[in-house]
Amino acid sequence: MAELKNRQWLLASRPQGLIKESDFRLNETALPALKDGEVLVRNLAFSFDPTQRGWMSIDTYIPAIPIGNVMRAGAAGQVVESKNPGFGKGDLVFGLLGWEDYTITDGHGMFGMQKLPASTDPLMALSLLGTTGLTAYFGVLDVGQPKAGDTFVVSGAAGATGSVAGMIAKLKGCRVIGIAGGTEKCDWLVKEAGFDAAIDYKREKVGKALSEHCKKGINIYFDNVGGEILDDVLARIAFGARIVLCGAISQYNEMGVSMRGPKNYMNLVLRGARMEGFLVFQFASKNAQAIADLTKWHAEGKIINKIDLAHGLENCPKTIIRLFTGANFGKQLLKVADPQ
Amino acid sequence: MAELKNRQWLLASRPQGLIKESDFRLNETALPALKDGEVLVRNLAFSFDPTQRGWMSIDTYIPAIPIGNVMRAGAAGQVVESKNPGFGKGDLVFGLLGWEDYTITDGHGMFGMQKLPASTDPLMALSLLGTTGLTAYFGVLDVGQPKAGDTFVVSGAAGATGSVAGMIAKLKGCRVIGIAGGTEKCDWLVKEAGFDAAIDYKREKVGKALSEHCKKGINIYFDNVGGEILDDVLARIAFGARIVLCGAISQYNEMGVSMRGPKNYMNLVLRGARMEGFLVFQFASKNAQAIADLTKWHAEGKIINKIDLAHGLENCPKTIIRLFTGANFGKQLLKVADPQ
């Protein structure tokens, strides 16, 4: 096995503003022999997530990726060789691995590597049943605490987490308004995803449109973008509103530079409202129930799992850039290989 | 009774920035005869509260005070004459009345006028057992949800609400750090009010001092001031932190002009934390328990009710200005008359 070649994307520089392809550098090495306790994983597919922008820049809830290291990514993979009693050849696995053909790991790493049931679709594990779907699930249900009849607004609504968040809120009896960019996405929200209305931020004034769609104010806002839209929403929250901060993609690009605070935050006082951030691993003890619910809702057709699929390790840098320019439509994944 | 003269402070203009004396105008009128259902109240004392800055400027949780109307204030008074079966001559009352010698009201008004037990000290009713003390009580206990061992930081710590908030947190087993302006206030916090430490924002760098005093991060922040200090705190919150927004006095002056948002708010996501505003009347159903607790703690010497007392109706405008320049030390009240 030691003769396998491994292509790797290394972090070449910390991004300033938008991520550029030159922030990464392609490297090719020969894989070393496995040591006791190690596992050799063939990466099958990568997840692309806003939080990766943070990892590239600064220590957050986990340390920043050191310059020169392999770019960290949520990944599904398959065990090729194992000297670790916890994993066997052929096992499908899931964890924080990296942009490379093969990853050698002791199985611990950050948050550990988990085995997936043998029949698992790697793409499903990285989208609806992975961090993306779980973020929507816990963000809406545990943080947002929807009640039937609530007006629920979500930004980044055609994105992976946003669309699932809106569909879960709909399932709980909320009136759901999505904010997204472009006619295609807005049409999809209303016609396919079952949203009550969609606001196209590229063509409409978001504040004015929110006033029209939310005459009794906004009860829950699931915020994927931050920036001016957060202020537009804060200006229109109902008494007792909950703002679920899911990671503001418009702000990730500014990390460590100049963050813009929501100037209307004092409405939280005037409307007795709260703004709450969360990380999906806070709720890890409830993952099994969440995965069971999401699987059931998906099977019943109540939740659509829309995937935007790229192909080929060589396209990783181009693909992460799509995420921050809003080019992706649905969960951005990249497939490297099929399971054997 | 119709020959009584009534001096009134009317709202002359909406303040720009800090309140000025010229934002008010003194008026003198003869009191009209009482109509059926009305009550004539001799105002005994007024409460001075940051929220009044909002009432002067814009519609908030209640409508703005119309220009030319009597300046609205929390007040304690005594019934002089009543044509309302709910109130009798001599009754002590409490409610949103106005800066004038006498107020004629139907007893409903905003939030209604409440009778006080006969032996009540009007100054106590406007401070520890009024909105100020209740705000601290519900803000700390219901919104902040302190646990023994938590690090609790409060700004405006020598102020009426801030000092009581800190003392309640201390009583619940928190380590309490107060932020206040000036040596006298900081000394009082540590030597009299039982705080574990005080930070003098006029002499120290607040961020640096917070880092020294809160090595494991801040679990609860009771925010009375907003502005840069809120960002200094957000940079240092612990995982799962609660930020209690109690009305940011540094922001009230800017209302309707340019509000500054907390640029470090994204730490709410990274630390799974929340920022929550509230209005004291949300918890009105629990007022009786709160008043009983506060009375008991005060009697046991666990809570000091520090009052900064002005005198004379003519000094109302000067006195409200003290509140926003930080000149007051303790709850700012103004006494107009003694009960008969």
- Residues A136, A117 within the same domain: no
> What are the backbone dihedrals phi and psi of residue B81, each rounded to the nearest 5 degrees, phi first?
-155, 145
- Residues A261, A180 within the same domain: yes
Tokens 């932020």 belong to: B179
Residues B219-258: tens digit of each pLDDT: 999 999 888 999 999 999 999 999 999 865 555 555 544 5
Q: Which residues of A touch B246 (CB under 8 A)?
A: 269
| Residue-level pLDDT at A59 | 85
- In a domain? residue B145: yes
When pLDDT is averaged across residues B159-169 and rounded to a whole number, the result is: 95
Alpha carbon of A240: minimum distance to chain B alpha carbons (Å) = 9
- Contact B273/A at CB under 8 A: yes
- Residues B38, B56 within the same domain: yes
Query: Do residues A223 and A248 lie in contact, with contact meaning Cβ atoms separated by under 8 Å?
Result: yes
Q: Cβ contacts of residue A221 below 8 Å, gap of 6+?
A: A152, A153, A154, A155, A230, A233, A237, A241, A242, A243, A244
User: Which of B226, B266, B275 comes nearest A248 by C-beta?
Assistant: B266
Residues A233-249: tens digit of each pLDDT: 999 999 999 999 986 55
User: Which of A262, A267, A278 comes nearest B265 by C-beta?
Assistant: A262
ipTM: 0.81
Binary contact (A269, B246; C-beta < 8 A):
yes
> What are the backbone dihedrals phi and psi of residue B24, each rounded to the nearest 5 degrees, phi first?
-125, 160
Binary contact (B270, A246; C-beta < 8 A):
no
Tokens 């209690």 belong to: B244
- Residues A136, A122 within the same domain: no
Residues A173-213: tens digit of each pLDDT: 999 999 999 999 999 999 999 999 999 999 999 999 999 99
**3-state DSSP helix/strand/coil percent for chain A, to nearest 5?**
30, 25, 40
Q: How many domains does chain B have?
A: 2
- In a domain? residue A29: yes
Q: Which residues of A touch B142 (CB under 8 A)?
A: none
A·B CB contacts under 8 A: 106
- Tell me the pLDDT of chain B averaged across its residues: 92
Residues B270-288: tens digit of each pLDDT: 899 999 999 888 898 998 8
Residue A64 pLDDT exceeds 80: yes
| Residue-level pLDDT at B59 | 85
- Residues B187, B276 within the same domain: yes
* Closest chain A residue to the Cα of B270, Cα to Cα: A61
Q: Which residues of B touch A248 (CB under 8 A)?
A: 266, 269
Binary contact (B276, A277; C-beta < 8 A):
no
Q: Which residues of B touch A271 (CB under 8 A)?
A: 61, 277
- In a domain? residue B38: yes
How far apart CA B194 and CA B172 sit, in angstroms, is 13
Q: Please give the C-alpha separations between residue B231 and each of A191, B225, B266, in angstroms, as whole numbers.
A: 42, 11, 11
- Contact A238/B at CB under 8 A: no
- Residues B50, B135 within the same domain: no
Residue B186 pLDDT exceeds 90: yes
Alpha carbon of B178: minimum distance to chain A alpha carbons (Å) = 21
How far apart CA A28 and CA A9 sit, in angstroms, is 9
- In a domain? residue B221: yes
Binary contact (A265, B265; C-beta < 8 A):
yes
Lowest average pLDDT, out of A61-75, A294-308, B243-257, goes to B243-257
Alpha carbon of B217: minimum distance to chain A alpha carbons (Å) = 14
| Residue-level pLDDT at B257 | 44
- Residues B180, B273 within the same domain: yes
pTM of the model: 0.85
Residue A166 pLDDT exceeds 60: yes
Binary contact (B266, A259; C-beta < 8 A):
yes
- Residues A200, A264 within the same domain: yes
- Contact A229/B at CB under 8 A: no
The angle subtended at Cα B166 by Cα B163 and Cα B170, nearest 5°, is 140
Its domain, for residue B28, covers 5-127+306-335
Q: What CATH number is attached to the domain comprising B114?
A: 3.90.180.10
- Residues B247, B143 within the same domain: yes
- In a domain? residue A340: no
Residue A67 host element (H or E) = none
To test the contact with chain A by mutation, choose from B270, B280, B282 the residue with the greatest count of A C-beta atoms within 10 A, namely B270
- Contact B211/A at CB under 8 A: no
- Residues B203, B322 within the same domain: no
Give the SS3 label for residue A77: strand
State how beta strands B151-155 and B175-180 pair.
parallel
| Residue-level pLDDT at A257 | 44
When pLDDT is averaged across residues A245-269 and rounded to a whole number, the result is: 71
- Residues B240, B318 within the same domain: no
Residue A294 pLDDT exceeds 50: yes
| Residue-level pLDDT at B253 | 56
Q: What CATH number is attached to the domain comprising B191?
A: 3.40.50.720
Of A196, A160, A161, nearest to A178 (Cα)?
Answer: A196
- In a domain? residue B144: yes
- Residues A253, A153 within the same domain: yes
Residue A89 pLDDT exceeds 90: yes
Q: Which residues of B touch A282 (CB under 8 A)?
A: 272
- Contact A269/B at CB under 8 A: yes
Query: Do residues B87 and B115 lie in contact, with contact meaning Cβ atoms separated by under 8 Å?
Result: yes
- Contact A280/B at CB under 8 A: no
Residue A259 pLDDT exceeds 90: no
- In a domain? residue A73: yes
